[in-house]
Structure 1
């Protein structure tokens, strides 16, 4: 029953994602492919003339960069790079194992080849795992890090989520709009069965990043989940704390005027897939994080605080 519900939700989600793409007005963009050694990676670059640090958005499993465009459209004040990760969308694949470290290397290569010294990175689900590996393996290429509904350890997911992934079949998936979209975009439209097994294996095995390695990351980090997410809330909280979150001084004072070391956002009544329908909330909080906006204070308290400084 649980597996059947997972299948129904994926079928519904794939239809919603595609409808979302069609609803977004075309945004002026350039696009092309970048050689990442063994594959050609497809990208779209939005708002190229903007002067802010670019934002690289990494999609989830069985998706493409285009399916993140409804969220990307909320960041019109900065360049946004939408990447089709290897094996997905219009990007190629290879005979090498599909791994998170490789996805992280690809992301860093795209930032470099587009001529940027570094980029802020937002990764959703599988893309969050790739973003973490980029931060570990290529810290010089990453500014700030947004982990959207992803884990740094396999046990960060509810066991039922892994059960649902394990029960997915190629016969079911290729009959969904996700299968149709793969065949429409992929350089190898007849390769869905191989693609499915490779992506399923990657996401079922997940990754296991030690706490010490998470604690040592250089990139300021924001963690976002839904309160009904596939990611366990205690895991998201642990990630937030490992990244320097939890300001005891601010807690004691009841306010903070400093930029937090890390941020945690848990959206109410929101599932793993529902996050993709929460673009406005996500973009508002992510923009404040990227722009180092300090926590807000009620006007009277802010004035009183300023008065004490003079």
Structure 2
């Protein structure tokens, strides 16, 4: 994939993400929704910024690379917080959670999420992750299974080769220059970060995916039910999602053999970035999975 195409993809990515101010206006104007709790949790050397919305069964939502709460979740929080407690946080070096002298890793960020739940005195929660957040969510379930009731993965992977090869090849080429003028850079600057370190920030975050990883065995042994959703034009390989679904009991006719507790969704006409714009599809699908009686028999005539 040539450099011009990479820049074009990043331009599309930036265009698809409204600026933070627009997100805040969207939430304010449509719902007057404000967090019932917000602040910083001291976890693993971080001062981790978080917000809590609504009440009910807890749902933790973990953002993707270079994202933060408003960029990733402003459109979904109002709907999901109507009948559940939504907990959103900003990962190491993202948003209002300042970076520390620690390598970014899926495992480390999963431990941070675990620490946040302990800080909030939440024993168990549903965990939802998008993109990089999906990898973090997988690791929360692997490393802290007692804290996970159900798991939702939106356009995330559990092995580095879960991405299409051309997507994986692009990661190593990311530089700060590619993101100049995008909402990602605007958010970085507005949060009081050093603009001179923007390129280092971009490279540090993407190293999470340029370093090979494969948690196939551990993820297939997760006890919590999993909903894995990808787009039909996503960066995640279909076979990657299907492999996990089959390992979780999929790949048979549910009317005859019963339905697995885990689920798979491939959304039509949906790209990796587009997953976050499919609110009208994703929110009801997630809510149905989280609320469903997964032991109920399939419907009969």
Written as runs of structure 1 = structure 2, the 5 A alignment for 1:186-201 is: 186=192, 188=194, 190-201=196-207
The Cα of 1:105 is off from its aligned counterpart by 0.3
Q: Is the 8 A contact 2:261 2:294 kept in 1?
A: no
**Separation in 1 of the partners of 2:4 and 2:221?**
40
- Whole-Å Cα distance in 1 between the matches of residues 121 and 44 of structure 2? 17
Secondary structure at the counterpart of residue 27 of structure 2: coil
Give the structure 2 partner of residue 285 of structure 1: 285
Instruction: Give the alignment partner of residue 214 of structure 1, picking from 209, 212, 219.
Output: 219
Whether the aligned pair in 2 keeps the contact of 1:89 and 1:186 (CA below 8 Å) is no
Alignment RMSD (CA, Å) = 2.3
Match of 1:69 among 74, 82, 87: 74
Cα deviation for residue 183 of structure 1 reads 1.0
Does 2:91 match 1:85? yes
Unpaired stretches in structure 1, ≥5 consecutive residues: 305-310
Map 1:165-180 → 2, pairs under 5 A: 165-180=171-186
Q: In the aligned structure 2, how far is the partner of 1:112 from the partner of 1:54?
A: 13
State the alpha-carbon separation in 1 of the partners of residues 46 and 90 from structure 2.
12
Q: Aligned-pair distance for 1:45?
A: 0.7
Distance 1:139 1:10, change over 3 A: same
Moved over 4 A (4+): 186-190, 293-298
Question: Is the contact between residue 214 and residue 242 of structure 1 (CA under 8 Å) also seen in structure 2?
Answer: no
Aligned-partner Cα distance in 1 for 2:139–2:17: 26
Larger Rg: 1
Match of 1:239 among 231, 241, 244: 244
Write the distance in 2 (CA, Å) between the matches of 1:56 and 1:206: 26
User: What residue is the counterpart of 1:57 in the other structure?
Assistant: 61
2:15 equivalent to 1:10: no
Range with greater deviation from structure 2 (129-138 or 19-28): 19-28
The answer to whether the 8 Å contact 1:42/1:90 transfers is yes
Where 2:75 maps in the other structure, the secondary structure is helix
Query: What's the counterpart of residue 142 of structure 1?
Result: 148
Report the Cα offset of residue 240 of structure 1: 1.4
Q: Which TM-score applies when normalising by structure 2?
A: 0.89
Q: CA deviation at 1:62?
A: 0.8
